[in-house]
Structure 1
Amino acid sequence: MTDLDSLKKLVRENGYLYTKDVTSAGIRREQLKKYLDEGGLIRESRGIYSFADSINDEFVLLQSRCKKGIFSYGTALYFHGLSDRFPQMVSMTVPKTYNVFYLKEELFHVEFHRIKPSLWNIGIIEMVSPQGGKIMVYDRERCICDM
């Protein structure tokens, strides 16, 4: 079995390959660099890769980059079918103590809302994104209360 086959087995169900999974499987980082240079892999973000021939879910990638980010406000309303228009800015809510400074510069299309950590986890549910990936979203009641 080649290293490329090993890498394909490490791809998570969300379609992305993570550096920590690669190194824990005993594959050297130089192999990632080799496949990046050859065009077989695409670097989505620091530590997150995808195969060039795969279709990726942007919403799963956003939550992979912002681990405590929950889709909220207009974005969550759209996922619940309570809005017929996709919002121009993707809304994510994070705890006040979570640092998103480095993400704000890169993710200019994402609007971050910060709330008390004690209120952050109320109403979180798992949904399937329009592209088929599993994402965390606030439930309908929470969305309506937030609006």
Structure 2
Amino acid sequence: MGYRKIILDYADDNNGIVTSNWCVKEGIPTVYLSRMVKDGELHRVERGIYSLSEYDYDDFNIFHLKNKAAIFSYSSSLYLLGRTDFVPHLIEVSVYTGYNAAHFPDDVIVHYVTKELLDLGKIFVETPLGNSVECYDMERTVCDLICNRNKVDAELFAKTLQSCVKENDLNLNKLFSYAKKMKCLKKVQEIMEVLL
């Protein structure tokens, strides 16, 4: 099988996306990507990211492909989890303290956490366009909102917590376990006592 066919098959199986990093890992010369762009078989979306012609641009997926160290959090995770009715105009992500996020676009809000807490509550979810990205689960997101209430929009805070109580879908054991690890157990318990 030729390199072009391998690349096109992979892109078909990967929601229309192929990266130069993938080609390198597979031993495929990246010059094929440039040739396929020139021949109209692929489009260059961003540096190192290519798509089939019919690919719908997915901000979340493209950001995720370019920035593997970042995890969608706060309003972005609420959106990806289907827990908010508005599309956030800014992307919010968490990275470990010390990570250089200077290359992130201006429309990205960065939250820094310790390396020990970065993966706490991390899950894979599908974007509205069907691509798999990393974000925090609902319990971690609620902990972030409560622990950092001063950084969160008041309306978003209230609606999220009211929705959680109404839907009754929070795992309280997991929520309190996360809160303990994040050193904000008392805050979380106080808020949850008022709501429940």
Q: Same fold (TM over 0.5)?
A: yes
Residues 37-88 of structure 1, C-alpha deviation per residue, up to 9 Å, x if partnerless?
2333222233221122223433122111110111111111122233211222
Aligned to 2:66: 65
**Counterpart secondary structure, 1:10:** helix
C-alpha distance in 2, partners of 1:133/1:50? 13
Note the C-alpha offset of 1:16. Answer: 1.6
Which amino acid in 2 is paired with 1:30? V
Residues 86-123 of structure 1, C-alpha deviation per residue, up to 9 Å, x if partnerless?
222111111113222122xxx22221211111111111
C-alpha distance in 2, partners of 1:20/1:83? 34
Residues 108-147 of structure 1, C-alpha deviation per residue, up to 9 Å, x if partnerless?
2221211111111111111111111111111111111211
- Bigger drift between 68-77 and 107-116 goes to 107-116
Q: 1:3-14 counterparts in 2 under 5 A?
A: 3-11=3-11, 13-14=14-15
Q: Could you tell me which runs of 5 or more consecutive residues in structure 2 were left unpaired when the two chains were aligned.
A: 146-196
**Counterpart secondary structure, 2:103:** helix
CA RMSD after TM alignment: 2.1
Aligned to 1:120: 118
Q: Is the 8 A contact 1:14 1:134 kept in 2?
A: no
Q: Is the 8 A contact 1:97 1:117 kept in 2?
A: no
- 1:87/1:30 CA distance change after superposition, 3 Å: closer
Note the C-alpha offset of 1:9. Answer: 2.1
- Bigger drift between 7-16 and 69-78 goes to 7-16
Larger Rg belongs to: 2
Give me the TM-score of the superposition, normalised by structure 2: 0.64
Give me the TM-score of the superposition, normalised by structure 1: 0.83
The structure that is helix-richer by fraction is 2
Give me the identity figure in percent.
29
Q: Is the 8 A contact 1:20 1:47 kept in 2?
A: yes
Residues 12-54 of structure 1, C-alpha deviation per residue, up to 9 Å, x if partnerless?
5243212233245454333222222233322223322112222
C-alpha distance in 2, partners of 1:41/1:115? 37
The structure that is strand-richer by fraction is 1
Q: Could you tell me which runs of 5 or more consecutive residues in structure 1 were left unpaired when the two chains were aligned.
A: none
C-alpha distance in 2, partners of 1:28/1:117? 35
